Structure 1
Amino acid sequence: MVRDELYITVPNLFRCPISMDVMRSPVSLCTGVTYDRSSIQHWLDSGHDTCPATMQTLRSKDFVPNLTLRRLINLWAQSNGPPSPASSPSVSYQKATTLVRDIENNGNENLPNTLSEVLDLIAAGDENRRFLAGFDGFVSAIVGVLSRGGAKMEVLELSIRVLDSILTENGVGEKLNSSISKRNYDCLPSICLVIQKGIGSSSKIESVRVLESIAVNAESKRAITENQDLFHALLDLLASEKDDDLNDAVFSFFIAISVTHSAKAELVRSGIVQLVSKSLSDPKTKICTKEKGLKLMSIMSTCAEGRSAMRDWPECAKAVAEKLMKVSRTANEDAVAVLWSLCCLLGDKKAQEVVVRSNGVAKILLVMQSGYYEGHKVRRICGDLVKVLSAGCRAGVLGLGLYDSKTTHIMPC
């Protein structure tokens, strides 16, 4: 009799070099070697000061979560073998109570393990995520970790990851904002620290998403805007990072908070016009990120400071004009609004010339022709733009002679 066996091959990368078991909570030493947290913690607690795999003397006994490997292991586990209680644990009321108590314990040195366990439970299934997100005191406990100050980067990153993983659940936004406001926004310095010094871009992206979920009312937006360290840490990300997903998250956040004149003015003073213009001009920037950049630029154009900054930065008009008809309908509206502010409202001759040289008149006429804007203000401001630009060309004011858009079949209203 032949008996069929089901063999599941575990990738060596997923095995802890000490226990040889699949890692539940992979962490990396300063040597770059990754181990399961419980195994390496036992090794270090036993008095060793070397890396077990390489036997190098450790400059530091600190370790950081290998979040990318954790995700890969979870994806592999979900697609291999039948689900079991061991691989898909459920959260009981008693278990959740214990987790909340352990998280609230400020002197708990096992906090990284507790937070890693929470993430494992959330990753095990939607039911666990919903249960923990709705459990009384859970969100508040996580916010408490961020608000206490003095926590290691590992703990801060894990706490933010927990919050980010439950943001989409019903009621979490309200609980998060209520808990943070009660603590007088004491968590903002911790979030700022992760944005400045977090390991890799994933924790920074998660931090920005958590910030955006906080910025839902006038009080929270004001608290964030008035935190200069945080505000400028986000701008520094745009200036220094080349990660499109990270820039996309930062653009979304700035769009969310740019509802007051003071917030817009602060962004403009901090160089947002120049940063967005560079992003729009970069051929490597994703279309979705450019569309958010156009939205942000449109918002900035509604204040005098924003229009002045755009006038003083000639690359702005060129970058915006070149995106016309290459983005979504909504983004086209934002681009047209920016060009109208420069060319019509300010009457900036340099901007007008840049738009004409970028074949902007033809593109604006195509926007009018698209059929989406019948009776819409976009059609009217497109008409204003065409009249101003065409008049400048005919008069030779723009130094281009008579401009031929090659779209004579399209007549502005």
Structure 2
Amino acid sequence: MILSWGRRRAGRKANNKKQFCNLDMEVEEIAIPTHFRCPISLDLMKDPVTLSTGMTYDRSSIDMWIETGNSTCPVTNQELMSFDQIPNHALRRMIQDWCVENRSNGIERIPTPRIPVTPYEVLRIRERVAGAARRLDEKKCHELVGKIKAWGKESERNKKCMVENGIGSCLSAVFDSFADGSMDKHVEILVEILSVLPWIFPLSEEGQSKLGSSGCLRSFVSFLEGKDLTARKNAVLVLRKLFSSDQKYADAFWAIEGGTEAIVGIIREPICPQATKAALACVLFMISSPPTAQTSDEIRSRFVELGLVSLLLEILVEAEKGVSERALGVLEVLCDCKQGREKALENALTMPLLVKKILRISELGTEFSVSIIWKLCRIETEESVLIEALQVGAFQKLLVVLQVGVSDGIKDKVTDLLKLFNLHTSELDCVDSSMDFKYLKRSFLN
């Protein structure tokens, strides 16, 4: 009985396999009509559009063709007198009907595409938003910003069209007009605009000036300190892009009460890697190019007082590559001030982590790690620091760095460190005698 059941089961499997094979053959035999294929990609068109030459292409393919600098029709090679793309609704319906007819063979119906936003529509909504903002009509502004947000969610093409047609400068001005008053009164519209601001860069100088006003910067601080995680994330993303557009906005933010603490708060209570990277980038802008040397020490010391050095070391324990690289960059600048170096040396994790991160993150991460070790060992000139670095394998790692190759500036620091370490290698059994040192100059080993 068991044997016969097993045979029947095997027979059913064989029949099923045969049926699936036949089905695969049927699917393979289905040929897409030539006029349904895009002449560029040769794939089934999902959003057919016709150019001024009369040729039809899939919108994504012809967009890519034009964006790469081509100004001719791919098939006819005629110069395009206009880049306008007219949706071919008749052909799209024919393709959809064909997909429905072949649904039983595994062909899925293409969805009806949304028509991309046009420059005229962007300019029109800009005027309407600006008008509503002048009247302080928060309800109307909220409605229009919601429409802009919906357009952006539809496609990257829509976002690009809106950015190119100045929607960023418009929303920056609207944000500034509502932020200049009572934030509590206008918090809803500010949050709505804030949800759009991260993808409207780059901004014009006027747009940057609006977002960089004292009223807007104070609003960003309030959002960073708030409980709305999405608003906190969007605020730090906008600040990063604003600071990268002009250093003066990073300097201005430092002068805003509570700004420094708010940025550190994003690092201390992480929302997501993207927000953490943005916050670290903001800190780097604030501490890297301050107006004067006195301000430089003041800013860096303030971040050290807020416990940033310890936070950076905690991040380095298990953070992803992008976050670790930025954390090392911030720590490298903080170690330019005496308080930063002292705080780093107080932490038992510092030297083991720095040595471990060499050649483990990226070339830039390695340069940051080597630079920090050099500052701690060379500037502080404490023998205990050198010995600790040797004990955790710094000598071996630096030899490998020389062999792999780094920039001239870091190579000089590696050479300097090896000379310092060589004075103490005989005292410690921490250097592997089997390592190949033939590529080092004799002076390193004397």
* Same-fold status (TM-score > 0.5): yes
Cα deviation, 1:338-362, whole Å, max 9, x if unaligned, reads: 0000112212334323322322211
Does the residue aligned with 1:187 lie in a helix, a strand or coil? Answer: helix
Q: Residue 129 in 1 paired to residue 154 in 2?
A: no
Q: Which whole-Å CA distance do the structure 1 matches of 2:416 and 2:112 have between them?
A: 65
Q: Which whole-Å CA distance do the structure 1 matches of 2:122 and 2:411 have between them?
A: 58
* Corresponding residue for residue 309 of structure 2: 273
Structure 1 contact 368–382 (Cα < 8 Å) conserved = yes
Higher Rg: 2
Structure 1 contact 173–214 (Cα < 8 Å) conserved = no
* Corresponding residue for residue 407 of structure 1: 435
Structure 1 contact 359–405 (Cα < 8 Å) conserved = no
**How far apart are residue 220 of structure 1 and its match?**
2.2
Q: Which whole-Å CA distance do the structure 2 matches of 1:367 and 1:235 have between them?
A: 33
Q: Which whole-Å CA distance do the structure 1 matches of 2:271 and 2:425 have between them?
A: 39
* Corresponding residue for residue 13 of structure 1: none
Structure 1 contact 147–187 (Cα < 8 Å) conserved = yes
One-letter code aligned to 1:236: G
Instruction: Give the alignment of 1:6-405 within 5 angstroms.
Output: 81-85=111-115, 91-124=121-154, 125-133=158-166, 137-148=170-181, 149-168=183-202, 172=203, 174-181=205-212, 183=213, 185-200=214-229, 202-215=230-243, 216-217=245-246, 219-241=248-270, 243-258=272-287, 259-260=289-290, 261=296, 262-281=298-317, 283=318, 285-373=319-407, 376-394=408-426, 396=427, 400-401=428-429, 403-404=431-432
* Corresponding residue for residue 6 of structure 1: none
**How far apart are residue 234 of structure 1 and its match?**
1.4
Structure 1 contact 298–334 (Cα < 8 Å) conserved = yes
Structure 1 contact 102–114 (Cα < 8 Å) conserved = no
Cα deviation, 1:109-141, whole Å, max 9, x if unaligned, reads: 344323212212333413542355258744312
TM-score, length basis structure 1: 0.70
**How far apart are residue 198 of structure 1 and its match?**
4.6
**How far apart are residue 92 of structure 1 and its match?**
4.9
- Which structure carries more relative contact order (alpha carbon 8 Å, separation 6+)? 1
Q: Which whole-Å CA distance do the structure 2 matches of 1:380 and 1:131 have between them?
A: 46
User: Structure 2: any 5+ residue segments left out of the alignment?
Assistant: 1-108, 291-295
Structure 1 contact 142–159 (Cα < 8 Å) conserved = yes
Structure 2 contact 225–262 (Cα < 8 Å) conserved = yes
Judged with a 3 Å threshold, the aligned counterparts in structure 2 of structure 1 residues 173 and 265 are, in CA distance, closer, same or farther, namely farther
TM-score, length basis structure 2: 0.65
One-letter code aligned to 2:309: V
Judged with a 3 Å threshold, the aligned counterparts in structure 2 of structure 1 residues 136 and 233 are, in CA distance, closer, same or farther, namely closer
Q: Which whole-Å CA distance do the structure 2 matches of 1:325 and 1:108 have between them?
A: 53
Q: Which whole-Å CA distance do the structure 2 matches of 1:203 and 1:317 have between them?
A: 37
Judged with a 3 Å threshold, the aligned counterparts in structure 2 of structure 1 residues 121 and 302 are, in CA distance, closer, same or farther, namely same
User: Structure 1: any 5+ residue segments left out of the alignment?
Assistant: 1-78
One-letter code aligned to 1:323: K
**How far apart are residue 175 of structure 1 and its match?**
2.5
CA RMSD of superposed structures (Å): 2.7
